[in-house]
Structure 1
Amino acid sequence: MDFGLTDEQRSIVEVTRAFVERELYPHEEEVERTGMLRPELAADIRKKAIDAGLYAANMPEEVGGAGLDTVTQVLFEKELGKASYALHYTCVVRPSNILLAGTEAQRERYLYPCVRGEKMDCLAMTEPGAGSDMRAMRTRATRETGDGRSGWRIRGTKHFISHADEADFVILVAVTGTDDDGRPAMSTFLVDLDTPGLTVHAGYRNVSHRGYTNSILDFDDVHVDDDALLGEEGKGFELAGTWLGSTRLQVAASCLGRAERALDLSLTQAATREQFGQKIGRFQGIGFKLADMAVELRAAELMTLHAAWKYDQGTATDADIAMAKLKATEMLAMVSDEAIQIHGGMGLMDELPLERIWRDARIERIWDGTSEIQRHIIGRSLLRPLGG
C-alpha cells in the first residue's frame, strides 16, 4: 500500500474541505438550534455541490458520477464527515450503490435522476422486530397472478428509514420465499413513494444528528409490477451485503473527520488556555490525553484506509471492513469525550461543536451494524479456518 496521496487525491481533499468550511459549517448552528434542515437551504447547497462536482461522487463515471476509487472515497467522506451529518448527508448526496444492480430501464428511471440530483432514494431494511437480524424480517412481497395482473403485493412495516420524508422512491428489502436451507429468502424492490398503500409516518426523535430525519413506512397491500424487482429474486440478502460493505467504510470515514475536528479544537485549547500560570497542555494530565487521542485516531485512520485499499484490490473481507467500522466508531466516542474533558464546562456548551460531535458519536456504534455485530463478524472470521 502506497501511503502517499496522488495529486488528484490531494485536490479532492482540498476542494471538499473548502466546500465544507464555506458551505456547510456556517449552517450548523441553525440546524442544531431548530432541529431541522430548511428545504430551500438544502436545495441551495445541493446545487452548489453539483456545480462543484461533489454530488454523487460515489458513483462510477459511466453513470455520471466521479468514479472515485474506495481509498479516495474514504478521504472524501472524511472531509464531509467533519460537518453536521444532516448537512452533508442530505445536501452532498451519495445515492445508494445498490441502484447499480438495476436494468437499463431501472437506471433510466431511478439511478440517473439520482446522480443528476433530480431524485432521492431511501433504503428500507430495518423493522421493529428485525434490526441486526435481517433474517427476522417480516415484510413480505407475494407474487400476484390472475385478473390480468402480474407483479407483487407487499405488506409490512419498516422503521428508522433515513430521509424517507424527502425521498422519491424506496429501495425495499422484503421476504419473498425460503432458500434451500429453509431460511427466509429476500428480494429487493424499487417502490415509488406515491404508490397507493404506502404511507410515510414521522419517525422517532433522535439524540444524535439533529436535522436528520427517520421515518416509519407502512406497506398496506402495495402493488408493484414485475419490473420493480431489483436484481435477482431471492438474492436481496446478498445484494444488501454488497451495499453494507461500502456504507460501513463510509461510517468509519465520517467518524475520522469528526474525531480530527475534535482533536484540532482540543489542541488549540491546550495551547492557548492558561491555568495556574501556564498553558494547560503543559500539564501531563492534558498532554497524555492528547497523545492517546492522536494515537487512536491514527490507528483508526490506517485501519480504514487499509480496508479501503483492499476493497479496491478485490481482497477485502467482511472482517476487514468490520474492524475499520468498529475501531473508527469506538475511537470517535473516546476522542469526543476526552475533547470535552479538555475544554471543561465550555465543552458542553453549544457555542462549540464538541457537544454535538459527542452526541452524534453515540449512534455510530449502532447503525450499519452494531459494535457487537462487528465483533461477531471478526470473531467468526478468526475461528472459521480452525473449524470453530
Structure 2
Amino acid sequence: MTTYGLTEEHTMIADTVRSFVENEIYPHEELVERSGEVPQEIADEIKRKTIELGFYACNFPESAGGAGLNHLEFALVERELGRGSMALNHFFGRPQNILMACEGEQIERYRDPAIRGERMDALAMTEPGAGSDVRGMKCTAVRDGGDWVLNGTKHFISGADHADFIIVFVATGEDQTPRGPKKRITTFLVDRGTPGFTIRDGYKSVSHRGYKNMILDFDDCRLPDAQVLGEVDGGFAVMNEWLYATRITVATMSVGRARRVFDYALDYAAEREQFGQKIGKFQGISFQLADMITEIDAADLLTLAAADRLDKGLPANREIASAKLYASEMLSRVTDAAIQIHGGMGLMDDYPLERFWRDARVERIWDGTSEIQRHIISREMLRTLGA
C-alpha cells in the first residue's frame, strides 16, 4: 500500500474499511454475481454494521451528523471499498454531498434522514440523448399554476432501485447565446411514489452485476417549489460546488480494485509452476508484475494528491481529471495482465478475475469518459496560455 504522506490515522481508516470489506462484503460476492441481486437482509445487515462502525455518511460534516472526513480521508475509504462488489458496498452508505445544499424543511425531509441511513438517495442526470453533454438534456420542468411539471426520461441511474428519493437535474429554460441556445438547469428532489414518476428496470450490464442501472420516467409529474434544491436555474452552480469531485471516487475505487487483482496475480505467479520453476521467475511474468504495481502506485499517489489539493482549497479540476483518466485506464491494463498471467484459467469463473475484467470496462465511461477527461486536462492547460 502507498503510505507516502499518510498519517497513522489515515492508515487506521484504510485498514478499518479494508477489514470491513473483507469480512462483510467478500463473503456475499459470489451470490450477488450469480443472482444479479442483493438480498434485502444482506443489504440491511451491511448498512447496520456500517452505522455501528461509525462510517455511514462519513463524507458529511460532523455538524450535519456525519463522520466529518476530509477529501483525502474519504478517498481512502472509497479506495478500500473499491476492492469489493459495487452492488454490496453501495449499502456502506455515502449519500450525495449535494444534499448539503438542502435548506429549511428539506434538511429534515431529505438530508438528515439520508445521513442517518433512514432514507437512500440517487442522482439522475444522464438521458438517452444526453450523457457527457449535460446541456443537451431534454427532460424538462415548466411552470404550471405555481407548481413545476416534469416530463422526460433519465437512464443509467445507479442506485435508483433502492432509493427513497432521487436528486434530478432537468432543463427549466433556455438562453440564446452567441454560441447558440444554452439550457438552464434546475435540481429537484423527487420522492419515490410521486404521481407521474416511475422507476423501472434499466439495461442488463456486463459490469458490476447487482449494481443496477434504472430508467426514470416523468409523465406530467407535478412538484411544488419546496422540491427545488438550490436556486431555480441554478443546477450548474450546485453541480460545480458538490459533484465534480465524484470523479475521485472512480479513481480511488479503481486503485482499490487493481490492488486486489494484483494480489491474485502475484500469488498465482509465486505458486504456479511450469518448466520446473515458478512462473514468477520468468521475465515475461516478473516484468508484467513490476509494471502492474508501478502503475497502481502511480495512480494511487495521483488520486490522493488530487484529494489533498481539495482539502487545501487549491484548484484541482485538472488533477482530478488526470486521476480519473489514469486510474480507470490503469485498472483495465492491470486486470488484462492478471488474466494473461493466469492463462486460460483467468477467464474461468473459478476465479473472480473475469468479473474484475468485465467490471473494469465501465470505469472509463461513467462520471465522464476518458475522452472528456482528456478534454478537461488539455483545456485547463491551454486556458492559462489564453488559447
What TM-score, normalized by structure 2, do the two folds share? 0.96
Equivalent residue letter for 1:99: L
| Residue of structure 1 in register with 2:383 after alignment | 384
Report if the CA contact (8 A) 2:172-2:184 is conserved. yes
Deviation at 1:180, TM superposition (A): 6.7
Matched, 1:75 2:71: no
Distance between the aligned counterparts of 2:61 and 2:315, measured in 1? Answer: 19
With 48-57 and 362-371 compared, the bigger mean Cα shift is at 48-57
Deviation at 1:56, TM superposition (A): 1.0
Matched, 1:123 2:123: yes
Matches within 5 A, 1:45-60: 45-60=46-61
Distance between the aligned counterparts of 1:143 and 1:320, measured in 2? Answer: 40
* Deviation readout 1:81-106 (Å, 9 max, x if unpaired): 100111112x1010001100110321
Equivalent residue letter for 1:217: L
Matched, 1:173 2:169: yes
Distance between the aligned counterparts of 2:269 and 2:242, measured in 1? Answer: 41
Deviation at 1:6, TM superposition (A): 2.0
| Residue of structure 2 in register with 1:195 after alignment | 194
Deviation at 1:17, TM superposition (A): 1.1
| Residue of structure 2 in register with 1:310 after alignment | 309
Report if the CA contact (8 A) 1:244-1:368 is conserved. no
The share of aligned pairs that are identical, in percent, is 56
| Residue of structure 2 in register with 1:36 after alignment | 37
The residue matched to 2:74 in structure 1 has which SS? helix
Deviation at 1:386, TM superposition (A): 2.1
The residue matched to 1:205 in structure 2 has which SS? coil
| Residue of structure 1 in register with 2:24 after alignment | 23
- Structural RMSD (CA): 1.3
Distance between the aligned counterparts of 2:103 and 2:289, measured in 1? Answer: 51
| Residue of structure 1 in register with 2:259 after alignment | 260
Matched, 1:240 2:239: yes
Distance between the aligned counterparts of 1:386 and 1:185, measured in 2? Answer: 30
The residue matched to 1:66 in structure 2 has which SS? coil
Report if the CA contact (8 A) 2:97-2:243 is conserved. no
Report if the CA contact (8 A) 1:177-1:185 is conserved. yes
The residue matched to 2:245 in structure 1 has which SS? helix
Matches within 5 A, 1:255-334: 255-334=254-333
Report if the CA contact (8 A) 1:252-1:328 is conserved. yes
Distance between the aligned counterparts of 1:370 and 1:243, measured in 2? Answer: 19
Report if the CA contact (8 A) 1:307-1:316 is conserved. no
Distance between the aligned counterparts of 2:104 and 2:4, measured in 1? Answer: 38
| Residue of structure 1 in register with 2:106 after alignment | 106
Distance between the aligned counterparts of 1:262 and 1:24, measured in 2? Answer: 16
The residue matched to 1:382 in structure 2 has which SS? helix
Equivalent residue letter for 1:109: R
Q: Which runs of 5+ in 1 are unaligned?
A: none
Report if the CA contact (8 A) 1:174-1:186 is conserved. yes
Matches within 5 A, 1:355-374: 355-374=354-373
Moved over 4 A (4+): none
Distance between the aligned counterparts of 1:38 and 1:188, measured in 2? Answer: 32
| Residue of structure 1 in register with 2:150 after alignment | 154
Distance between the aligned counterparts of 1:243 and 1:336, measured in 2? Answer: 31
* Deviation readout 1:159-218 (Å, 9 max, x if unpaired): 111121211111010111134734111010101111100011110000000001111111
| Residue of structure 1 in register with 2:160 after alignment | 164
Distance between the aligned counterparts of 1:364 and 1:116, measured in 2? Answer: 29
| Residue of structure 2 in register with 1:7 after alignment | 8
Equivalent residue letter for 2:309: K
Report if the CA contact (8 A) 1:179-1:234 is conserved. no
Report if the CA contact (8 A) 2:98-2:243 is conserved. no
With 361-370 and 171-180 compared, the bigger mean Cα shift is at 171-180
